[in-house]
Each structure stands twice: as C-alpha cells, then as structure tokens.
Structure 1
C-alpha cells in the first residue's frame, strides 16, 4: 500500500526557494549599487578645475581617492578588461576575479571578518588588487596588464587632481541631507 500523499515535496519547494534566493540577490545588488557614488557627481563639470598649488593638488587627491574609491576601482577594472580583449585566458581569469571583486568589495553590506578580526575596506581593496595583478601576470599578459594599470592610475590621478572637493561630503549623513535638500526644491 503506497500513499500517494507521501511523495516528497522537495522538488516542488525548490523553485520557490530558488526564486526567493534570486530575488534576494537582485535586491542585494540593487542596494549595493545604490550606495556607490553616482557617476553624475563624479563627472560634474562645474566641479572641475586646476588646483591652485601642489598642496591643494595633494589634498584633492587624498579626498577624492577616499570619496570615489569604488568608482575609481570600477574605472581601473574596466581599463584592465579592455586591455585583455585579445588574451582569452587572461580574460577568463579576470572574469572570475570580477565576481570576487563584486562579492567581497562592491556588494558587501557588512564588514568582512576573518577569524574574528574585522578587515577594513582599504585592506580589502589592496588585497584584491594584489591578487588580481598577480593572477593576471601569471597568464602571460604582462605588458597589457602593466600598461592598463598605468593608464588606469593616470586616469584616476588626473580626475583626483582636477575634481574640486568643495562639494564632497565624506560623512554619509551630511551627503544625504544635502542631496535631499537639493531635490526637494520645487521647480519654478
């Protein structure tokens, strides 16, 4: 005597769990991208100008590197990607590394902890950068990678020097308050 009602429902529950997992992942990606600095702020042409002196240039570099850290990482990763178009093995390795970057740096909403030690964002950025460079250099695309890193660094430094820092807020609450104040004005 078999009981037809006793058929395991794990295969029926699986699509619901997969759908729920996919929805959660989509929401996590949207939330992670929402916390990144907007490209519009990064490329605001009204906020561009040459520094007055070397001290001002170094101050801008320091502030802009801290403020646009994620955006600068995306710029450098894109430059590396385009330099590897003609090196399929390196491109495959790079694609795997991009997923590592996405999950460990860009979309992480909690601090990374290893053996009860909290790892700060700067250490993760440096660690991922070193891992990326070393693994890509092992794929025999050394010239392309070095040229891409130099080009990416030059692009980042040019932007960091030219972008004024007067309108940037390193404090998230101040930036949110300023942004909401700017968007709430009625148009006349």
Structure 2
C-alpha cells in the first residue's frame, strides 16, 4: 500500500520584522530651533515695546530749548530732570553709539557674535542632561559653563573688544550728559516725574512678560 500524502501544503514560518528605531535617533536631543526663535521674538517684542515709550525726537533736538547752565548745580539738576523725561531716548542713543562702534570694528563685532552664539547653542538651549562632546571628550554642564565664563573674560579683557565697548559707552554717556546739561527742562511735562521713574525703559524690561520668559529659560539652566 502506498502511504497517504496530505493534501494540505506545508506552512512556512513567516517572520514579521518590527521596525527598530536606532539608538542614535532615540537619544537625539530635541530640536532647539523653535526655542531660539521664541527667544529672539521675545527680545524683539521687548525692545519694540520699550522704544514705544520714547519721547518725540523733535523735543530732544529742539534748539530753542538749548541754553548754558548757570552753575554745576544747575547742570546736575537739568541732567536729572532730562534723564527722567528722555530716559528711553538716552538709552537708544547709547545703543546707537555702541552699534556704530561695533560696525566700525568688524573684529569686535564678529568676536562678540561668536561669543553670543556659543552661549546660546552650547549652554542656554542645550539639554543640561547631555554632556557636550568636543574632540571626543565629554564636558558636563558645569564644565561648559566654566569654559564659557573664562572665554567671555578673555574676550572682554584680553582683546580689543573690551576697549571698544568701554569707549562706546563713555562716548554715549558723554553725549547724554552734555544734552542733559544744556537742555532746558522747563517746557517738559515733569508733573508725573515720580511715576516716570517707575515706568522707564529698564523698569519696563524688568516687568515685561517677554523678559520673564527669557529669564525663566536662563534660570532653568542654573
């Protein structure tokens, strides 16, 4: 008798491969581009809102209000009153002088831009739980912070960047003091001088929601 053969075909085992995610992709840090965009947007909004509080520039350059002060005491009082009124304009003038100084010194501008980029990409928006790898060596978060502080001190005090910044600030302050001393403040509305001291440019920056978000990002790294 011939052996009976089964008519059912043999079932071959079929493997169902699962898609595996590479470990490198799992450990890939989150993209920080949106955070940087938010950071820049917050700074832009803060500066724009701060400049919105400036006084009319026509009042600042009014030639009819220019007169020589009677004494040093009179000049000091004028500077104090004009500073309370033209606070935002004065900060804008100092920023313009600082910007012109950096534009006329490309090395200082490039160095400061590189230092700022290092702080942003290597510390502020880098995940603190992941070490920084440079030439095969791992640097912890504290080591990265220490290196950035040392680099900042070297750039500011051991290069021409520091002298450019200090010179620009001194020139800006000299312009502000000269204008404040020779600008007669009698035609200015100084009745709300007490409230102007609390609504100036720097106090606006300190109390703005945009700056609070920026400060929270920096505080989260400490």
Q: Rg: which structure is higher?
A: 2
